[in-house]
Amino acid sequence: MRALPPLILLDPILQNWLLEDIGRGDRTTQGLWEAPDKIVQAEWTAKAEGVIAGLPIAKRIFQLLSDQTSFVSVVAEGENCHPGQVIARLHGSLNTLLMGERVALNLAMHLSGISTLTREYADQLADLATQLVDTRKTTPGLRLLEKYATQVGGAINHRFGLDDAVMIKDNHIVAAGSIKDAIARIREQMPYPLRIEVETETLEQVTEALDQGADIIMLDNMPLERMRQAVHKIRGKNDRLKIEASGNITLDTIRAVAQTGVDYISTSAPITRSTWLDLSMNLLHENRI
């Protein structure tokens, strides 16, 4: 279930983006017309096929500029759109609509691109029990919204930050000396009710993680046959323990990975490999000044 970030978190981010773009004022709009506060109407149109995400956030951008602005979504979050389809209708001052246009469109195009590619990955798992999970490979400053977009596309969120869970990865294991030592040290000071996930690359590491009572075991960059053996080993000892697969997951491989029996597949691809969905805003002709 997707959840829009609360305004107390969202507003400062959006305000900073608006300040970056507006600077000391919209020289073009304010210089062309004597009455930039004239009320006009506009439409947002899709120029490519994809999955829409970010319209409620775009609406908030315009409302921060003027609470008199109306932004009505024609399509729902997560709905498919096609080229030429109107996805939103706007009503407000010329100054507000043109001043907020770029920031709002940039955000919606970026988030819609993420949700579009996420949907392609999620569709590969539609008839399977395995769930698609995102990662911390996000654009600095945009994690909150990029992870929202993956939810819209059909994924679930992994941890948002380092404080969300304990994840013992390869470099932690090297630094600690072993999975056993890493888990023992962390358990002494981790707060309840955090869980421990361990990244493994070999069957020997899987056995060690099992013996030390890890809550989640990640199978990282494992060949399919080794992954099947790891799942069988884990299920044989603890059928309630969660298993995550990760590492170079593509649209061509994700289904085969899921069929090994893992509970989750985590991939950064929907965020790191997505392209923006092309959207545009057009003033209606009757608004000519």
Question: pLDDT confidence of 221, banded at 50, 70, 90?
Answer: very high
**Quick check: is 169 catalytic?**
yes
pLDDT band, very low/low/confident/very high, at 289 (cuts 50, 70, 90): low
**What tens digit of pLDDT does each residue of 120-142 get?**
999 999 999 999 999 999 999 99
User: Which pLDDT belongs to residue 37?
Assistant: 81
| Mean per-residue pLDDT, 258-272 | 98
What tens digit of pLDDT does each residue of 58-104 get? 999 999 999 999 999 999 999 999 999 999 999 999 999 999 999 99
User: 242 catalytic, yes or no?
Assistant: no
pLDDT number for residue 239: 92
Residue among 56, 44, 116, 40 nearest 84 (CA): 44
User: For residues 45, 40, 289 and 95, what is the CA-based torsion angle, rounded to 10 degrees?
Assistant: -90
- Does the annotation count 38 as an active-site position? no
Among 89, 102, 185, 228, the one annotated catalytic: 102
37, 38, 49, 137: which is the annotated catalytic residue?
A: 137
Can you give the pTM of this predicted structure? 0.95
Residues 130, 131, 133: CA angle, nearest 5 degrees: 140
Q: Which of 205, 199, 203, 208 is nearest to 230 (CA)?
A: 203
The pLDDT score that the predictor gives to residue 216 is: 98
Distance CA 127, CA 125 (A): 6
- In this model, does residue 117 exceed pLDDT 90? yes
How high is the pLDDT of residue 30? 79
Respond yes or no: is residue 225 known to be catalytic.
Answer: no
What is the per-residue pLDDT across 25-53, written as a single tens digit (0 to 9) for each?
888 877 877 666 889 999 999 999 999 99
- Model pLDDT, residue 3: 82
CA distance 96 to 38: 10
Among the options 37, 49, 164, 169, which is catalytic? 169
Percent of the chain with pLDDT over 90: 91
Q: Is 147 a catalytic residue?
A: no
Q: What is the rounded average pLDDT for all residues in the chain?
A: 95
Q: How confident is the model at residue 286 (pLDDT cuts 50, 70, 90)?
A: low
